[in-house]
Structure 1
Amino acid sequence: MAHMTVSFGNFRLDRASRLLLQDGEPVRVGSRALDLLIALVDRAGDVVGKHELLELVWQGVVVDEAAVRVHLASLRRALGDGRDGARYIVNVAGRGYSFVAPITQDEPKAPPPQAGLQVRRSTGSMPPPPRPIIGREHVIDSLSELVLARRFISIVGSGGIGKTTVAAAVAEKLLSDFDDENVVFVDFGAVSDPDLVPGAVTSAVGCAIGGADPVAELLTFLSGKRMLIVFDSCEHLVDRTSHLAGEVYQRAPSVHMLITSRESLRVEGETVHLLSPLAYPTDEMPTAAEALATPAVQLFMDRAAFSGLHGELTDGDAPVVVEICRRADGIALAIELAASRVGTYGIRGVASLLANAELRLVGRRNVVPRHQTLEAMLDWSFNLLAQDEQRILCRLSAFVGLFTMEAAGSVAGDGEQDAEVAATLASLVDKSLVWVHLVGESVFYRLPDMTRAYARAKLDDSDASGSIAERHARYFAALFKAIALEHGAYTDIDRYVPHVGNVRKALEWSFSSDDRHAVGVELAADSASLFLGLWLLAECRHWSRLALGDIKGTSDKTEREVRLLEVLALSSMHTQGNSQEVRAALERGLDLSEADGGRLTRLHLFAGLNIFLTRVGDFEGALAVAKRFDVIARGSDSRGDHAIAEWMLGSGHHLAGDQVAAWEHHERGFRIEADTGDLDADIFGYNHRLRALLGRARLLWLLGSPRSGCELARAVIDESANARHPTNYCICVLYCVPVLLWSGDTEWSYTHIERALAHAERHSLFPYAGAALALKGEWLVMTGEELPGVEDLRRALQLLHRENYGIVVPATLGALARGLVDCGRYDEARATVDAAISSAIEVGQKFYLPDLLRTQGEILLRQPCPDAEAAELAFRRSIEHAKAQGALGWELKAAVPLAHLLFQQGRDAEAQALLAPIYDAHAEKDGTRDLTEAVNILRRAPREPD
């Protein structure tokens, strides 16, 4: 139930009294405008469509959409929307309106989340909360309100001062305000290349895309979202993160951002919060009670207890502890590091060590470079470590983000036993220099970013820097070689996602010098499944192209070259369209794999070539490739390969124009699946079982069971919504919705067309966006919205031609021709369909000929001077081509208008003789408009001939 009274900005809205107050004074606003405000406030953060607003505010009253615009304009003037930076109501183009200002509910809120509730984790895991957070409670509360009110907050302060800790606590506090899953933490400590900043945010927010302009695609994805994104540790990427944050603030009005950085981003919209050091007593001789009244001393004693300190703080030790906190300058991490040694050295022992360490903790973040500040802050802690701890810590700095115990032993160890490395690592964890992260059931470790930078500087000054970087790269090359050997190129990579930052670093190191390229080639090939699984296609394409540029001319890396060619083809097909580069990569891969005898690899490449040729509209070529796939699959013991071969043949015959053969192959594949049980049907980024199911739905309709075909089409779309890769949902919608439109079902179709269009645009699947836009245009034409339908169809054709996505071009041209004739543009309609027919004949796209010829006949009858003779010829040619395909549904769609024409000419018996056998051949006698019309025609009594 909505709260009766809410506040936003300097306004207060009282629903019960239907009163809007500004600074306590009533605001004059019309009744309808007030109703609109209440409706939008109730759905704050969501986009509310114009039709929904009409229904909510003008219940039962028929008004035009312009009424919404008029009253909203009045409401915005009353609110002062847009003045002095105030933003309350935004128009989301093509979708509706959204109330974007933070709202305070005057009734008590629900209790805050329970301690320990985990914030969503992605690119970087949310840091584990301190034990407990000390001295920041008021800051956390204040920042939580500020984030809601101003959207874009930067926490700025010195290294180690606690920015990440505070940001994580604010994010957890706001979980309920953003529906838990919409709070995202992006750890830029795991990103070294500025060009990877958009990809890191993309991965974190759950948008698996890979187009040519990642920033634009990310902004499109975020534009309708309400979420909180934490950008953590931005200082080393400040230029790129500031640009991205500024764009998000401007173009994603419901996204809130919380930034941690050693310097402000200095972009429009940013509110800077300077995080102060923890306070400690200024009196040189405080009592224990006076010292414990300050957060710095509280933090020190809390962490010292965890290190093994027993007993309470005494008045005698209080000044010593205050001096330690003073030397640490109130910086939380420095205090924690000092306290972590108290269990070993005692309070006075730690103070003595610090006094002799010549610490340089006086520098400020905006005066000295980051590495100097880290040195000043961490030198003393480093000097407290044993020699083996120092060595291991420096070498662990080679890792980016998370790493395993095994990785630590391989990269940081010097031949020590696993137990020795584990003991040293555990000691570093105890000293808060290494954090523990649980990912599922696996234990990972991570150096805090500040500690890693300090240790990295130490490592770079040593002779071991180069050898450790090489160990790091070779470890991950060996790890992913083992993964590739065990699972192949298409494994479930979820368990390996934490390695992505280290793989990137290893690849960067490998390709930074000519003498290291061999390692990079191996790793690029073997880690391809990781980037493909995350759908980081642009990055995948980048590494594969680098590796292929170095691998050519070698004779002992055929298998990896083939894998790289496959990866390049797949990633390029989705990011660059159906280009010649894709085809060249597939064909070279096939040449190499055929000589090498790799059956599984050839199957992948043939599947890719089949998909490529299908997408560009070469249906005969795609069928020929399917037959070659089948030959190889028959030599395999894998029942899954056999099923996919049958399904691929079925799809090939379907588009090549043999629906009976297509049905037989599809059903054989499903029988194999039923006998085998679950099988892996994912090849080349496609789920071939879903592809076969949508083919079965289309075939049911074409072969005379339209009701069953439509039911299956709906079920396939529902199933595909949970598919792993975003391509599968789009494919199922794009090729199942036409089944519904063939039947005249325009009610259920539209929702899924819109969802597919949004899905394709969100994930930068540009060919599918073009196809979805074409479907939307066809739907609009079918429902009487001819002009906007024609516009969408024209724009869709531009997209389809640009992406070389020829598979749906003939259908789109047919729909455009029907839209043009509905608009009265007869000559243009006739020219469009004539060109489509000629093109389909020229390139062998037989599948579309029946529908195009039927459309041609209908246009000839509807033009100002109907040409009945030419129309009859077009209808008969349509029936003839449909019969040759075995496409009963196409036959009926042409026979119905031809029968009407024959009746008009007094050829009643001929009309019924034409229509009756086609109708009788349908296994299902209902489910389409054509069947209903056929029944009406057949019930008409033939007239006596003149």
Structure 2
Amino acid sequence: MPDTPSREATVQRQDTFISFGSFRLDRAGRLLLKDGVPVRIGSRALDLLIVLTDRAGEVVGRHALLDLVWRDVVVDEAAVRVHIASLRRALGDGQDGARYIVNVAGRGYSFVAPITQVEPEESPAAAPAALRATIRPPAPPRPLIGRGRVIESLSELLLARRFVSIIGAGGIGKTSVATAITDRLRTQFGEENVVFTDLGAISEAALVPGAIVAAVGCALSGADPATGLLDFLADKRMLIVLDSCEHLIDAASRLAADLFRQAPGVHLLVTSRESLRVEGETVHLLSALASPVEDVPSAAEALATPAVQLFMERAASGGFLGALTDGDAPIVAEICRRTDGIALGIELAASRVGTYGIRGVADLLAGSAELRLVGRRNVAPRHRTLQAMLDWSYNLLSEEERRILARLSVFIGLFTMEAACAVAGEAEPATPGVATIVASLVDKSLLWVDAAEGRVFYRLLDMTRVYAAAKLEEFGEGRQVALRHARHFAELFRKLGLEHGAYAEIGRHAPHVGNLRKALEWSFAEQEHRAIGVDLAADAAPLFLGLWLLGECRHWSRLALDSIPAAGGFSQREARLLEALAVSSMHTRGNTDEVSQAIERGLNLAEEDGAGLPQMRLLAGLNLFLTRLGHFDSALAAARRCAAIAERSGALSDRIIAEWLLAAAHHIAGNQAEALEHCQRGFTLEAGLGRLEINLFGYDHRLRASIGLARLLWLRGSPETACRLALEVIEEGARLPPPGNYSMATAHAIPILLWSGRTAEAAEHIELAIVHSERHSLRPNAAWSRALKGEWLLLEGNPVAAADTLREAIAALRREQQHMVLPAASRAMAEALARTGRHDEARATIEEALSSAQALGQLFWLPDLLRTQGEIMLRGPHPDSAAAEALLRRSIGHARDQAASGWELKAALPLARLLRRQGRQVEAHAILEAIWQGLAETSGSADLVEAAEILVALRS
């Protein structure tokens, strides 16, 4: 007996009706009835029944069933077993002695019940084909990743409220969630009382009641199926799912409202891209799957999010055998973000990983290929590709909605209603208002609403934006809309009037960054519209700086400056751009000629105009720039110029800024008493004004003053207070935007802890400072932080590691021209070399550091450099006590000239030890005692502990 049935014979018998037991099968209409009532049966199970009844009494092999039922679809034999089991349940096979299908071991299956041919006129009228399609439930769901809590809470909500609508964008997983909920609640309602109705399978509103009638399985008579359905369900307890209602929203809404009112035992679960907006409905907006928030997540961090879990699960199903690595985790995270956490988009992308690999899929998506990727064949056509899914939604829109959606594709990320109206609006008064259409697109889940800080923003999903952008080109409006977009944001930022340094509230404007970039790119690409780009770059520079997007700020500032035609006279735009260029370049490229030239050009323009505040900001930047270069006297001159401007303006805030600039300049120039006076005067003036919040060249000026005060207190002999304040400013720097504040705080406050010997407290902050500076690409600060780590290693008794770390840090400091801190790093390097027995290198290093400091007039570092040189003289095989004593006394003298008792004590300690060894206890005691008596505090540092011990020993 041949194993494979004849397809021709099967086709010939499709037009007949058969009867077995209490069942009647309409092959052509694909309808199975039991006692005249439609039986809910899956599509594949019905295919199996038709094939088996065609060969009733014969054994049909599994391979033959696969060939006939799953034509052109690759599945395994397990699918046959699953659907045979489903078919047996639908037929009640084995119940009350009824047998229909038997399994012949090793061969296949056979239909064994007697069959009677029935003429078409004897068969009951069948439901229309469109309605029969609606009673097929979706394929058995795979485990839903990231939806467990939603399924649980919605199941409880559905039992309590009776009527729940799951709303969301196409492909987000509404049907999958609804199917999982029905599976969860089957035991609550009973298998026969859970009904799934796919309204996506029908296109006419008049067929909606009939679709539910067919799904419920009630035989009705009369012209109005809705009335009959309501009567039938009035006393029934059932769960009815209405899936994909958006294209039949009016008809579905009316019937759902009637069912809720007139059938109190019926629970309704609706899925749609917009809500039904009828009485009794409880709406749940299904959110996207969460993706990693880290820019560069590890594999573990990425796999903690449901979007990446889904991606990797589907990738494995598609033949990818590898595990997610730390190197690929950021790529997968970006793919998930690009799909906006839409389950269908993630699945379609992941399904290609087995073929292309993770990086290959990322390259595919870079060309917007996600719209064309084909998914599973056993789903509705509208869910097989993102293109088809979006076509489905787009075709439901009115002409006005389509045009506005296309125009909105010009926006990147978030945008406001005001922006939408300005860019997507029409001049014709007869056109519906943009606000109305935007609201309609939100209702249809084509636009998402994002509320931030009490403001409402809108955004298109990335895949929707790509789709709509193609439609915009079809309308031929791309260039016109881009011009509107650029002009709107140029006008917006002109009105905002953002100020350089006013960063306290800058974060509220961050949602505009994506559109700002888009407008700048378009403007500078269009020669005739570059003026828009210049204005926008100048007005938006404070936003880029405030968000610490330094590379972008530098790029747009340079491009705008190159686009300004050469012309005489003051240019406010040019001055703002020069300041932005100087700030961004200094923090990203170091102390380059580009920075100094930008500052000097900006100062010349500001002086021509006589504007006070721009000059003060630029002079503050010049002071900072010169300080970092190690030109301490020139930095003091810049601070004095700033003080003169403040004196002329008379503004209290200007005077405070000037006092703090003078304090910083005098401090690094070696005038500690005068520096402390200016610093405290600034804080006194500020007390009458309130906390001054202004950033100058990327730093909070008050924080800089607080750091300076902590350093001055240490130098003036109050280490306990200084260390406490140092820790406070480090914590404050971590809280203050932008990121440069924390780097500044750690770079200048950690040395106070190291000077005091408080290495345990310094260790944690040094490591955090290194990570912070590298994360934000602050190369100069990274070099400072590594130099501090080298000093810490030295204090911890690890001179070999200290020398290696310091050597790398010094090379980086030289590259970045950070000459301000180079003497300190070189001093530590010399000491580390001496402690490892490399005495000649140590002496050469400290001599070079001293020579460089003296040549640059860096008096601030002389006491510490001379002290270290003296201590090096005492090390090695041939100590020179006389030279060492002379150097240590010179160190004390320079420290006394600076009014820096902290430096004095550091040099006095090795001198006192030397004098004691030589039997000169009286001299040693006199030197230490004089310094001790001048200290404001006698605790808080390792130096004070040692000094107290020596004094006690000398007195005894």
Confirm whether residue 267 of structure 1 aligns to residue 357 of structure 2. yes
Name the CA distance, whole Å, in 2 between partners of 1:848 and 1:139. Answer: 74
Q: Tell me what 1:824 maps to.
A: 837
Change (3 A) 1:487 1:540: closer
| TM-score in terms of structure 2 length | 0.64
| Pick aligned residue for 1:690 from 703, 707, 714 | 703
After TM superposition, give the deviation of residue 566 of structure 1 in Å: 1.1
Q: Tell me what 1:250 maps to.
A: 327
Q: Tell me what 2:815 maps to.
A: 802
| Pick aligned residue for 1:526 from 519, 528, 539 | 539
1:832-871 → structure 2 map (5 Å cutoff): 832-871=845-884
Q: Tell me what 1:613 maps to.
A: 626
Q: Tell me what 2:733 maps to.
A: 720
Q: Tell me what 1:394 maps to.
A: 406
Superposed CA RMSD in Å reads: 3.9
- CA offsets 1:445-470 (integer angstroms, 9 cap, x no match): 22334443343333323454322221
Is this contact kept in 1: 2:570–2:605, CA < 8 A?
no
Name the CA distance, whole Å, in 2 between partners of 1:881 and 1:891. Answer: 8
Name the CA distance, whole Å, in 2 between partners of 1:140 and 1:899. Answer: 82
Name the CA distance, whole Å, in 2 between partners of 1:134 and 1:529. Answer: 43
After TM superposition, give the deviation of residue 624 of structure 1 in Å: 1.2
| Pick aligned residue for 2:888 from 856, 871, 875 | 875
Is this contact kept in 2: 1:810–1:836, CA < 8 A?
yes
1:246-645 → structure 2 map (5 Å cutoff): 249-250=326-327, 259=336, 260=339, 263=349, 264=352, 266-267=356-357, 276=375, 329-331=381-383, 374=387, 382=394, 385-415=397-427, 420-484=433-497, 490=503, 492-555=505-568, 558-636=571-649, 638-645=651-658
Confirm whether residue 914 of structure 1 aligns to residue 893 of structure 2. no
Q: Tell me what 1:649 maps to.
A: 662
- CA offsets 1:308-344 (integer angstroms, 9 cap, x no match): xxxxxxxxxxxxxxxxxx6xx132xxxxxxxxxxxxx
Is this contact kept in 1: 2:756–2:941, CA < 8 A?
yes
Is this contact kept in 1: 2:500–2:695, CA < 8 A?
no
Please identify, of 932-941 and 497-506, the stretch whose mean Cα deviation from structure 2 is larger: 932-941
Name the CA distance, whole Å, in 1 between partners of 2:841 and 2:664. Answer: 33
SS in 2 for 1:445: strand
Confirm whether residue 896 of structure 1 aligns to residue 896 of structure 2. no
Name the CA distance, whole Å, in 2 between partners of 1:330 and 1:904. Answer: 92
Q: Tell me what 1:94 maps to.
A: none
Change (3 A) 1:129 1:421: closer
Change (3 A) 1:494 1:937: closer
Name the CA distance, whole Å, in 1 between partners of 2:440 and 2:735. Answer: 44
| Pick aligned residue for 1:761 from 730, 750, 774 | 774
- CA offsets 1:723-758 (integer angstroms, 9 cap, x no match): 212221222122112112212222221111111112
After TM superposition, give the deviation of residue 907 of structure 1 in Å: 2.6
Is this contact kept in 1: 2:569–2:605, CA < 8 A?
no
Is this contact kept in 2: 1:477–1:519, CA < 8 A?
yes
Confirm whether residue 737 of structure 1 aligns to residue 732 of structure 2. no
SS in 2 for 1:926: coil
Is this contact kept in 2: 1:140–1:170, CA < 8 A?
no
After TM superposition, give the deviation of residue 486 of structure 1 in Å: 7.8
Name the CA distance, whole Å, in 1 between partners of 2:679 and 2:695. Answer: 17
After TM superposition, give the deviation of residue 922 of structure 1 in Å: 0.6
Please identify, of 255-264 and 697-706, the stretch whose mean Cα deviation from structure 2 is larger: 255-264
SS in 2 for 1:330: helix
Name the CA distance, whole Å, in 1 between partners of 2:180 and 2:774. Answer: 37
| Pick aligned residue for 1:171 from 279, 289, 305 | 289
Name the CA distance, whole Å, in 1 between partners of 2:911 and 2:666. Answer: 28
1:147-296 → structure 2 map (5 Å cutoff): 171-172=289-290, 183-184=291-292, 205=294, 228=305, 249-250=326-327, 259=336, 260=339, 263=349, 264=352, 266-267=356-357, 276=375
Is there any run of 5+ residues in structure 1 with no aligned partner, and where?
Answer: 1-108, 117-126, 142-159, 173-182, 185-203, 208-217, 235-244, 281-325, 332-363, 366-372
SS in 1 for 2:874: helix
After TM superposition, give the deviation of residue 939 of structure 1 in Å: 3.3
After TM superposition, give the deviation of residue 941 of structure 1 in Å: 5.1
SS in 1 for 2:175: coil
After TM superposition, give the deviation of residue 834 of structure 1 in Å: 0.9
The letter of the residue matching 1:396 is L
Confirm whether residue 669 of structure 1 aligns to residue 709 of structure 2. no
After TM superposition, give the deviation of residue 781 of structure 1 in Å: 1.2
Is this contact kept in 2: 1:230–1:258, CA < 8 A?
no
| TM-score in terms of structure 1 length | 0.65
Is this contact kept in 1: 2:570–2:606, CA < 8 A?
no
Is this contact kept in 1: 2:502–2:693, CA < 8 A?
no
Is this contact kept in 1: 2:692–2:702, CA < 8 A?
no
SS in 2 for 1:840: helix
The letter of the residue matching 1:509 is W
| Pick aligned residue for 1:781 from 788, 794, 810 | 794
Is this contact kept in 1: 2:780–2:818, CA < 8 A?
yes
Is this contact kept in 2: 1:401–1:446, CA < 8 A?
yes
After TM superposition, give the deviation of residue 565 of structure 1 in Å: 1.0
Name the CA distance, whole Å, in 1 between partners of 2:778 and 2:175. Answer: 48
1:109-120 → structure 2 map (5 Å cutoff): none
Name the CA distance, whole Å, in 1 between partners of 2:286 and 2:878. Answer: 73
After TM superposition, give the deviation of residue 789 of structure 1 in Å: 0.9
- CA offsets 1:370-390 (integer angstroms, 9 cap, x no match): xxx84x665676565444334
- CA offsets 1:915-942 (integer angstroms, 9 cap, x no match): 2211111121222232233333333457
Q: Tell me what 1:135 maps to.
A: 175
Q: Tell me what 1:929 maps to.
A: 942
SS in 2 for 1:704: coil
Q: Tell me what 1:16 maps to.
A: none
After TM superposition, give the deviation of residue 614 of structure 1 in Å: 1.5
Name the CA distance, whole Å, in 2 between partners of 1:665 and 1:530. Answer: 32
Change (3 A) 1:267 1:846: farther
Change (3 A) 1:419 1:678: farther
Change (3 A) 1:388 1:555: farther
- CA offsets 1:483-512 (integer angstroms, 9 cap, x no match): 126888756222222221211111111011
**Which of the pair has the greater relative contact order for Cα pairs under 8 Å at 6+ separation?**
1
Name the CA distance, whole Å, in 1 between partners of 2:876 and 2:746. Answer: 34
Is this contact kept in 2: 1:655–1:847, CA < 8 A?
yes
- CA offsets 1:536-569 (integer angstroms, 9 cap, x no match): 2111211111111111414587111111111111
SS in 2 for 1:443: strand
Change (3 A) 1:913 1:275: same
Is this contact kept in 2: 1:224–1:254, CA < 8 A?
no
Please identify, of 437-446 and 703-712, the stretch whose mean Cα deviation from structure 2 is larger: 437-446
Is this contact kept in 1: 2:799–2:832, CA < 8 A?
yes
Change (3 A) 1:471 1:489: farther
Change (3 A) 1:254 1:816: farther
Q: Tell me what 1:237 maps to.
A: none
Is this contact kept in 2: 1:916–1:938, CA < 8 A?
yes
The letter of the residue matching 1:250 is G
Is there any run of 5+ residues in structure 2 with no aligned partner, and where?
Answer: 1-147, 156-166, 182-245, 247-270, 275-284, 312-321, 340-344, 363-369
